[in-house]
Amino acid sequence: MADFLGMWATIIAVGAAAIGVIVHVRSPRELPDALAAHAVLPTALVRPVATMVAIAEVGLAVTVVMASILGSNPVAVVALVALAVLFAGYAGYLHRVASTGRSVPCGCSLSREPVTGWTVVRAASFALAAAIGAAATPIATLPGDPASWTIVVPAAAATLILLWTLPAAMRQFDPRGARWTS
């Protein structure tokens, strides 16, 4: 069971980082524009932070995958812990943005989702998944049993999709204020 949980959590965390990379590649202006709209960072830091975020996501996702394939548990653990810290940082930052009450885009998807409490929950969930993956890595590196893969990969993919779409699913349109709320 712990093997399943560790693989499930690791796939979710790496998948979330991979989706982030895809968003950055498909729409390179999405994150910098959102960071500027958040008005939390000084203008001079918007582009460098957006670039560092993209590099961190791709670097950590690739590191976890390669370390798992090569059986390098210590490297996988360090990369998963770093990924957990990155996602926890996102959650804290998004909480700060959500607390302003302004309806601004998240910058984390191509749908221009606004920052809400649900985007904070999603980022925190990804941080928790990475932390669980790190804790379970010594027993969760690519087992040779194909049966475990036929269960864990679809389960992780379904969970990732549900978490990724959570903020959009929880939105409700408020016609009085003509804005989306959660």
Query: Which are the contacts of 181, defined by CB distance < 8 A and separation ≥ 6?
Result: 116, 171, 172, 173, 174
Mean pLDDT of 84-107: 94
Residue 3 binned pLDDT confidence (cut-offs 50, 70, 90): confident
Taking the alpha carbons of 103, 107, 111, 116 in that order, is the dihedral positive or negative?
Answer: negative
Interior CA angle at 159 toward 158 and 164, to 5°? 100
C-alpha 58 chain-centroid distance: 11
What's 41's DSSP letter? S
Q: How far is the C-alpha of 49 from the C-alpha of 107, rounded, in Å? A: 13
pLDDT at 124: 95
Contact 126, 20 (CB under 8 A): no
pLDDT per residue over 120-134, tens digit each?
999 999 999 999 999
pLDDT tens for each residue of 32-87 = 999 999 999 999 999 999 999 999 999 999 999 999 888 888 899 999 999 999 99
What's the pLDDT score for residue 16? 93
Interatomic CA distance for residues 153 and 176, integer angstroms: 43
8 A C-beta contact, residue 138 and residue 73: yes
How much is the pTM?
A: 0.84
DSSP three-state, residue 181: strand
